[in-house]
């Protein structure tokens, strides 16, 4: 993607969705952290189904510890890898209570020190909860960035580094939301919907993909 295409690319996504939000359901910074931690290799819909009941019972780290690990596992057993996720979330709650006064820390270092919290989860919390201009690179962002030519990279960290250099400041706050939603609903993994894509004109791959569809 040429540099001159980046502003109209994001402006188009912004015009279609001026105030994008996460599709995970949460009512506090802790619930956001927990939901993102649980969302690895799971759908937002599946996570929301489990966390509605969980957060009603235990909306704080202290209450989740009081709930106990077996009950936590039971509450999220419909989510993939629920045992390891429950173990990490429970351990995270212990650290939040013992070291952070029950609050979610605001630094990347402290967030990434929590069990089950990697760079992507930390970026989501820093961006959504604390308003920092970070870019969380999940599978959708990774695919869209590479396919469009916006940010080429072999790893999520490489893609994040390029995105932070190329995405204009005015779009940084919401860029990862727009890219996630675009990848989830338009730029699909198996068959991107280039024929209805509002930003196809700036995409490096769209011409070839559209031509392949015509020849099929």
Residues tagged active-site: 120, 138
What is the distance between the alpha carbons of residues 85 and 107, in angstroms, rounded to a whole number?
Answer: 22
What is the distance between the alpha carbons of residues 8 and 184, in angstroms, rounded to a whole number?
Answer: 21
Judge whether 214 and 197 are in contact, CB under 8 Å. Answer: no
The angle, 0 to 180 degrees and rounded to 10, between the axes of the packed helices 29-38 and 82-100 is: 150
CA-closest candidate to residue 129, choices 143, 117, 146? 117
CA-closest candidate to residue 192, choices 212, 172, 163, 170? 212
Token pair belonging to 46: 């599946």
CA-closest candidate to residue 89, choices 24, 37, 159, 157? 37
Q: What angle do CA 104, 38, 126 make, to 5 degrees?
A: 35
């Amino acid at each position: 993607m040429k540099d001159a295409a980046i502003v109209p690319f994001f402006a188009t996504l912004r015009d279609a969705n001026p105030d994008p939000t996460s599709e995970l359901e949460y009512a506090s910074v802790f619930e956001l952290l927990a939901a993102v931690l649980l969302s690895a290799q799971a759908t937002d819909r599946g996570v929301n189904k489990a966390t509605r009941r969980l957060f009603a019972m235990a909306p704080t780290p202290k209450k989740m510890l009081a709930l106990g690990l077996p009950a936590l596992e039971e509450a999220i057993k419909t989510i993939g890898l629920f045992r390891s996720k429950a173990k990490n979330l429970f351990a995270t709650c212990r650290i939040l209570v013992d070291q952070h006064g029950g609050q979610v820390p605001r630094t990347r270092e402290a967030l990434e020190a929590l069990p089950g919290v990697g760079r992507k989860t930390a970026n989501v919390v820093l961006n959504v909860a604390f308003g920092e201009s970070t870019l969380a690179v999940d599978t959708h962002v990774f695919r869209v960035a590479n396919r469009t030519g916006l940010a080429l990279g072999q790893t999520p960290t490489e893609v994040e580094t390029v995105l932070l250099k190329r995405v204009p400041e005015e779009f940084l706050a919401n860029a990862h939301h727009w890219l996630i939603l675009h990848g989830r609903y338009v730029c699909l993994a198996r068959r991107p919907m280039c024929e209805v894509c509002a930003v196809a004109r700036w995409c490096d791959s769209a011409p070839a993909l559209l031509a392949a569809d015509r020849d099929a």
